[in-house]
Amino acid sequence: MDKDLACEIIRTAYRSGNELGTLIGVLKARCAPEDYQYFVRQVAMAIAGIHVALVDTVLSRHPELEAEMQANLARTGKVMP
């Protein structure tokens, strides 16, 4: 996999995680407490699964992207431009 594709995978994985994260406020506002606790855990597991399946795999193939991600995050607040 080339570096551009690796970056696109990472960007998409983080966008997906962010999108799932937006559910937490909705769940808190609209769910009973026991449902909220259940679904918050499920959202967290889904985000972690995306990270492991995609980001960790890409970084194992392109370890140089880790430093780029940290620099971008410090400079722009985003892991990938």
Give the pLDDT confidence of 23-53 residue by residue, as tens digits. Answer: 999 999 999 999 999 999 999 999 999 999 9
Per-residue burial over 60-73, b = 16 or more CB atoms within 10 Å of its CB, e = otherwise: eebeebeebbeebe
Instruction: Report the sign of the C-alpha dihedral through residues 5, 7, 10, 11, in that order.
Output: negative
- Say what the pTM is: 0.85
pLDDT at 31: 96
Measured CA to CA, the distance from residue 27 to residue 65 in angstroms comes to: 34
- Domain coordinates in residue numbering, the chain: 3-76
Q: How far is CA 33 from CA 23, 24, 36, 39, 49, in A?
A: 15, 12, 5, 10, 24
Across residues 3-24, what is the average pLDDT? 96
